[in-house]
Structure 1
């Protein structure tokens, strides 16, 4: 299973804002920290705000921050809200309960195994909250270039020959 970029970006935005705490951030800040297009993040942030997970402050000194309850959200809740389809194969029901017929359905045991695997995946994500996965905040803040911290360069990248 692969999560969509939309879900990936949603999780990244929530993690970034959770690390920042009550401090306001901009879409530009998040874009630069992750190297993601501002345009891609704008829709993500808008929808996270509509869900009440992100607070937006308008004006000259405005920005974004996590809503107070967002730290308690599970990763599974975010993934369920941002993914449109969890049917690993066509014979499993999609979000609308639709499934494609399959000739072996009456005797198929694979479908049940795949459905159980998908449920286990979401159950594992439900065990972790946004607040929990942002720990330790100091290390994440440094990697994201917050508060003047210098991002840590991976060893492989640091060892690359210079031109």
Structure 2
């Protein structure tokens, strides 16, 4: 399975935020720390806010905060949120893609099971399990 950079960067952001869950993080600070595009991180932060993982506030004391304890945020749920709209294979797309063997394929059900188990396995871990150590976090 190949996760998108959107998900990779989102997980990095959350790992950093979990290292100091009471602190507000700006996308500018996170972009500088990880040497990534601020615009790209802002889109990721927006998705995380829409999914109820983070809360964003504007103003002097603004930034993004985790909405729940890192121990309450399951990794599979985060990956599922960030990978929303990304199909593992073409036939998983809402329109079914252009697969020519859809009527006789014996692979699709196995891939669906594998994808479901992947998310279930990730849900055995929480953001607290992967948070960056305080001394590593800048």
TM-score range relative to shorter protein = 0.7 to 0.9
Number of residue pairs matched?
A: 137
Query: Gaps (5+ residues) in structure 1?
Result: 146-163
What is the alpha-carbon root mean square deviation over aligned residues? Answer: 2.3
Q: Distance in 1 between matches of 2:54 and 2:116?
A: 27
Residue 134 of structure 2: SS of its match in structure 1? helix
How far is the alpha carbon of 1:104 from its aligned partner? 7.6
Aligned residue in 1 for 2:25: 25
1:41 and 2:41 aligned:
yes
Query: Gaps (5+ residues) in structure 2?
Result: none
How far is the alpha carbon of 1:53 from its aligned partner? 1.5
Answer 1 or 2: which has greater helix percent. Answer: 1
Residue 43 of structure 1: SS of its match in structure 2? helix
Relative contact order higher in (CA < 8 Å, ≥ 6 apart): 2
Aligned residue in 1 for 2:130: 133
Aligned residue in 2 for 1:157: none
Report the CA distance shift for 1:72/1:101 in structure 2 as closer, same or farther (over 3 A): same
State how 1:56-75 maps to structure 2 within 5 Å.
56-69=56-69, 71-75=71-75
Aligned residue in 1 for 2:88: 87
